[in-house]
Amino acid sequence: MTDLRSAGRAGGYSCSCGACMPSPAMSRRRFLCTSAAGAVVASAAMGALAGAARAQPAGGTAPGRPILIKGGCVLTLDRAVGDFEQADVLIEGGKISAVRPNIDAPNAEVIDAGRMIVMPGMIDTHRHMWQGILRNVLPDGSLEDYRNLIQRKFGAAYTPDDVYAGNLFSALGAIDSGVTCILDWSHIHNTPAHSDAAIKALADSGVRAVFAYGNGQNETGRFWEMAGAKYPDDIVRLRKQYFSSEDQLLTLYLAGPSAAPELILKAFNAARDVGARITIHVGVGEFGRNALLEKLNAANALKADTTYIHCCTLNDTEWKLIRDTGGTISIAGYVETLMGHGNPPIQKAIDTGIRPSLSVDVETSVPNDFFAQMRTVFSLQKNEVWARRLAGDKDPPKFLTVREVLEFATVEGARANGLARKVGTLAPGKDADLILLRTDRLNVMPMNNAVGAVVTSMGPQNVDTVLIAGKVMKRNGQLVGVDLAKLERLGNEARDRLYANAKVKNTRI
Ligand SMILES: [Zn+2]
């Protein structure tokens, strides 16, 4: 099995497969090669899916050559660098080396951004990517429906091949819609082979991913009784086998379980023993009114390495604990309004002094694009302020601005994913994760306000070009190196196999 998406890049890569050669900053390639060489026991289905995702060598730019993104409206979101009505972005060795007007780089391959907005790729801090083959299966469901159908029925029946397919679809869909970095909140580790499959799909997709290792799924929800599962102890092997380098697109988190405090503390300890950051759902619906964070704090378990998801029904003490221990948060506003988590706590976070990141959560009920997430928190916060004003509040909170929301989707995402030093803004020295958004489309032209256009009107149809670590993943509106027809067939096969194994009838309507 070869990594055809990487094959077009600087110098090729090297491993025991014999097709590679050493080069600097090649840890991701080494990782992929290790997988191909047998560290992951890849099934035939996985091999076929990988082949589908990588049927073509990476296109768009020549390997090793600098890239000059020319003449775009550049929103760096870096306060020191500023924004430009028209400027160039120079990329060398996968990193941004300059952002300014009129860069002269005669050796560079030029990408014309004359009718584009250039900005950092969007960053999702919580998505259950294994569900990528169950998109839209639960459009009318509540949290209870989700638990019963998605986790206890489908999740219990997932094979490693299904995990691979789900993760691959979710990752490629993210890239296609302008998300360059995504935290895979992965609670499908029914066996260690499920973990290997999830990681392999993330690597094969080419997305910058945070793999958050979570518990398995069974029919009862009591994951700690699962015979073949190794959560959380297998994190030691995963760290060693896949995440020994900082210099790669994949990083390791632990996804804390929704369970008794003793089990949560055990998982937190396992994470910290291997230096992995943590993400955990808290304050979800009625169940979330259990003062969990006060209990964890009593065991000194709250630290700056943790991202708290949802936070809808936390008490005031818990909010202060998050702030005072330096934690980050992730709001999945769209799903929270749909499924009964509680009011998305945007204003609460701001009042507490915490800037939130955003997340899609479940593609079983939620669109995969981040534009929808931005619009959701924007309108919800403004609605809340307007409601207070109408109720006679003489000192209402300030309205959010579109720029703040864009920062939530980029800068704050990078922070919550532990990657602020690498991504989240367009500044010299950072990895070149960026997107080009078309302004010559009927949903936004003629252009009047770039930040306004992105947050209030754009969608995946405006995402023309996507780069991750300087590698072109999407160009001219098409994913690079992905055979969609083949991928679709393989997705259909995975879906049908899963329905059969779970004994669920699929009516398709
Ligand atoms: Zn979630």
Q: Could you tell me which residues come within 8 angstroms of residue 116 by beta carbon, excluding any fewer than 6 positions away? A: 72, 73, 436, 437, 438, 439, 464, 465
Q: Are strands 95-100 and 463-468 parallel, antiparallel or unpaired?
A: unpaired
Q: What percent of the chain has pLDDT over 70?
A: 88
CA of 170 relative to ligand 1 center, distance in Å: 14
Task: Tell which residue, 325, 333, 275, 338, has the closest CA to residue 309.
Answer: 333
CA of 184 relative to ligand 1 center, distance in Å: 10
CA of 330 relative to ligand 1 center, distance in Å: 10
| Mean pLDDT of all residues in 236-261 | 97
CA of 126 relative to ligand 1 center, distance in Å: 6
CA of 286 relative to ligand 1 center, distance in Å: 16
Angle, CA 377 vertex, CA 406 and CA 188 arms, to 5°: 95
Q: What percent of the chain has pLDDT over 90?
A: 86
CA of 135 relative to ligand 1 center, distance in Å: 15
CA of 128 relative to ligand 1 center, distance in Å: 6
Question: How many CA atoms lie within 13 Å of 295's alpha carbon, on the beta-carbon side?
Answer: 14
294-348 tens-digit pLDDT: 999 999 999 999 999 999 999 999 999 999 999 999 999 999 999 999 999 999 9
Residue 232: is the preceding peptide bond cis (ω within 30°)?
A: yes
CA of 198 relative to ligand 1 center, distance in Å: 17
CA of 281 relative to ligand 1 center, distance in Å: 7
CA of 186 relative to ligand 1 center, distance in Å: 9
- Which residues on adjacent β-strands are paired with residue 467? 434, 472
Rounded to two decimals, what is the model's pTM? 0.90
List % helix, strand, coil for the chain (3-state, nearest 5): 40, 20, 40
CA of 362 relative to ligand 1 center, distance in Å: 7
Q: Supply the DSSP symbol for 286.
A: G
354-400 tens-digit pLDDT: 999 999 999 999 999 999 999 999 999 999 999 999 999 999 999 99
Residue 193, Cβ density class (10 Å: 0-12 exposed, 13-18 middle, ≥19 buried): middle
* Three-class SS state of 255: strand
CA of 335 relative to ligand 1 center, distance in Å: 9
CA of 204 relative to ligand 1 center, distance in Å: 23
| Mean pLDDT of all residues in 394-422 | 98
CA of 395 relative to ligand 1 center, distance in Å: 34
CA of 127 relative to ligand 1 center, distance in Å: 6
CA of 386 relative to ligand 1 center, distance in Å: 29
Position 246 pLDDT exceeds 90: no
At 60 the pLDDT is 53
CA of 94 relative to ligand 1 center, distance in Å: 32
Integer Cα distance of 30 and 179 in angstroms: 24
CA of 111 relative to ligand 1 center, distance in Å: 37
Q: Supply the DSSP symbol for 210.
A: E
CA of 284 relative to ligand 1 center, distance in Å: 10
Q: Could you tell me which residues come within 8 angstroms of residue 181 by beta carbon, excluding any fewer than 6 positions away? A: 121, 123, 124, 207, 208, 209, 210, 413, 414, 417, 419, 423, 433, 468
Secondary structure of 452-509 as H, E, C letters = HHHHHHCCHHHEEEEEECCEEEEECCEECCCCHHHHHHHHHHHHHHHHHHHCCCCCCC
